[in-house]
C-alpha cells in the first residue's frame, strides 16, 4: 500500500501546507455534503439529527436503540427526543424484541421510507456528480483517506456497515 505511480516517494504531500489544504477541503466539502438534505429538511419540523437517525434506520432495519446510540455517538436523551418525534409523526416504528423484550427494533414506515428516499436522493445526486467528475480512481483514494481519518471504533462501525454486518 501507499505505493504511488509518480515513483520516488516524494513526501511533498505531507507538508503542513498540503495538510492545511486538506483540512479546508474537508470543511468546505462537508458544507456541500449536508446542504441539500438541510434544504429539504428546513421548513419541515426536522433537522440534521432526524436525517441521521432516518438514514441509519434505513440502512439497518431492525437495529436497536442502543446500536443507534453507538453509531450516532450522542446521548440517549438526545436521540430519544429525535426518535419520539419520528414515532409521533409515523416515520419510524419500534417493535419490541422477540428474543430480548427490552430491546426496541426500529423500522421505517412507508412514510419514513418516502422521506428517506427524498433526502438520500438529494445527497446522492451531489455525491454522484462529484464521483463522476472525479473518476473511479479518485473515488478510491477519497474513500481510503476518509477511512484512515476515522477513529478506530468509528472505523469499525463503518466497516461493519460497509460489510453489511449487523
Partner DNA sequence: TTGGAATGTCAACAAGGCTGACGTAAGTTC
Partner DNA sequence: GAACTTACGTCAGCCTTGTTGACATTCCAA
List residues near a copy of itself by CB under 8 A: 1-6, 9-10, 13-14, 16, 18-33, 35, 52, 55, 59, 73, 120, 123-124, 126-151, 154-155, 157-158, 161-162
Contact between 113 and 58 under an 8 Å Cβ cutoff? The reply is yes
As a whole number of angstroms, the distance between CA 69 and CA 137 comes to 34
Q: Residue 39: which of DNA, a copy of itself, none does it interact with, CB under 5 to 8 A by kind?
A: none
CB count, 10 Å around CB of 120? 18
2-41 footprint of DNA as x/- string (CB under 7 A): ----------------------------------------
What residues from 89 to 108 belong to the interface with DNA (CB under 7 A)? Answer: 94, 96-97, 99-104
Residue whose C-alpha cell reads 516524494 in the numeric block: 10
CB of 158 to a copy of itself, least distance (A): 5
Q: Does 58 bind DNA (CB under 7 A)?
A: no
Task: Identify the residue among 82, 86, 115, 119 touching DNA (CB under 7 A).
Answer: 82
Q: Give the start-end residues of each E strand in the chain.
A: 63-64, 92-96, 104-108
Q: Residue 151: which of a copy of itself, DNA, none does it interact with, CB under 5 to 8 A by kind?
A: a copy of itself
- Per-residue burial over 132-149, b if 16 or more Cβ lie within 10 Å, else e, is eeeeeeeeeeeeeeeeee
Q: Residue 133: which of DNA, a copy of itself, none does it interact with, CB under 5 to 8 A by kind?
A: a copy of itself
Residue whose C-alpha cell reads 419500534 in the numeric block: 94
Q: Does 55 bind DNA (CB under 7 A)?
A: no
As a whole number of angstroms, the distance between CA 129 and CA 127 comes to 5
Amino acid at each position: 500500500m501507499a505505493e504511488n505511480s509518480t515513483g520516488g516517494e516524494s513526501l511533498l504531500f505531507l507538508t503542513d501546507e498540503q495538510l492545511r489544504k486538506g483540512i479546508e477541503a474537508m470543511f468546505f466539502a462537508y458544507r456541500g455534503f449536508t446542504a441539500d438534505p438541510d434544504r429539504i429538511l428546513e421548513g419541515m419540523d426536522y433537522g440534521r439529527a432526524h436525517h441521521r437517525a432516518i438514514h441509519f434506520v434505513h440502512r439497518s432495519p431492525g437495529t436497536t436503540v442502543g446500536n443507534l446510540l453507538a453509531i450516532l455517538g450522542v446521548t440517549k436523551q438526545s436521540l430519544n427526543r429525535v426518535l419520539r418525534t419520528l414515532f409521533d409523526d409515523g416515520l419510524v416504528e419500534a417493535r419490541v424484541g422477540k428474543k430480548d423484550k427490552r430491546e426496541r427494533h426500529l423500522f421505517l414506515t412507508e412514510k419514513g421510507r418516502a422521506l428517506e428516499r427524498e433526502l438520500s436522493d438529494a445527497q446522492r445526486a451531489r455525491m454522484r456528480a462529484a464521483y463522476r467528475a472525479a473518476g473511479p480512481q479518485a473515488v478510491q483514494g477519497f474513500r481510503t483517506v476518509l477511512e484512515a481519518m476515522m477513529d478506530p471504533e468509528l472505523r469499525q462501525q463503518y466497516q461493519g456497515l460497509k460489510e453489511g454486518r449487523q
